[in-house]
Copies of this chain bind each other. A is one copy, B any other.
Amino acid sequence: MTGLGVPALPSWRDGTTKAAVLDFIRSVTEPGDGFVPAGERIATFDNDGTLWCEKPMYPQADFLVRRWAEQVEADPTLAAEQPWKAVAEGDRGWLASATDHVPELIKGVTAAYDGITTVAFERAVRDFFDSARHPTLAVPYTGVAFRPMRELLDLLRDNDFQVYICSAGGRDFVRVISEEMYGIPREQVIGSGTTLEYRAGDVYRTKGVEQPIDDGPGKPVHIWTRTGRKPLLAGGNADGDASMLESARFALLLHHNDAEREFAYDVGAEKALAAAAEHGWTVVSMRDDFATVF
């Protein structure tokens, strides 16, 4: 194992969680029963709530709401239907529960940037990250990564892991900032996507959604499709990560229980927390195990 000469994971408090992570990395990198050759070491991490803050709203939701507002301003007739109606009326309740309205949500997501090239989409995402700020932390969204998790990504790479993001959110959204925020190159970002079409030198976004969505049991499917392997180590924080965590040799589940430094919530993670107890996954208490959060 590399990276133990200097104190490893300096933003993690010493304790059983940190020790379990270090023991696992040691077990796959040092000679012994658990050893895995360098080229086969794959780690996959959920993004929202695992590598960066997902409250009070997903950063990608903020990106979409801004776009829907632009669209409804350009064409007020859109306000007749969701999700543009909620944006036009300032209906935060509907927007906060958008995942309960999947057909309308998907319609809004795929219509937001339909028909443009992937390169033009990347420019729109870049503009968002260059201008938007997190609503409560008062920093750009590129500043809301969890420092202990970034240290863990570095430590895994130092130990010849290939580190992937595996996000239920948009692959082409996350790719724009994955390198600068996490040192993860765009080809190692796995996520959901709209359907795409090639014409005369360019790839265009179209109105469909790639199946399966990269959530729940779709996560290990995407990981196989992209890497041809199961993850050796996986990290998540929510019910949608449970299948990915189950498929990994070592599973890490972040528990958002630090209302003071971040947010405290179990909603959407109840099943994952129960599965963690059942399967012996390593649960990270953000309050107790993180010396620093951001």
Contacts and interface: CB of A to CB of B under 8 A. Distances in A.
B226 A226 contact: yes
Contacts of A185: 39
B243 A198 contact: yes
A186 B228 CA distance: 6
A86 interface: no
Contacts of A226: 187, 226
Interface in A184-234: 185-187, 189, 193, 196-203, 210, 217-221, 224-230
Contact of A220 (B203, B218, B224, B246): B203
Interface string A224-262: 111111100000000000010011000000000000000
A189 B228 contact: yes
A196 B224 contact: yes
A162 interface: yes
A85 interface: no
B186 A247 contact: no
Interface residues of A, number: 36
Contacts of A221: 196-198, 203
Contact of A198 (B171, B175, B196, B247): B247
Contacts of A172: 228
A60 interface: no
B198 A220 contact: yes
Contacts of A2: none
A280 B2 CA distance: 49
B224 A203 contact: yes
Contacts of A118: 224, 228
Contacts of A199: 217
Nearest to A217: B198
Nearest to A196: B221
A118 B228 CA distance: 9
A124 to B, nearest CB: 15
Contacts of A224: 118, 196, 203
State the 9 A-B residue pairs at the shortest beta-carbon distance, nearest first.
Answer: A186-B228, A198-B217, A198-B220, A187-B227, A203-B224, A196-B221, A175-B228, A198-B221, A198-B243
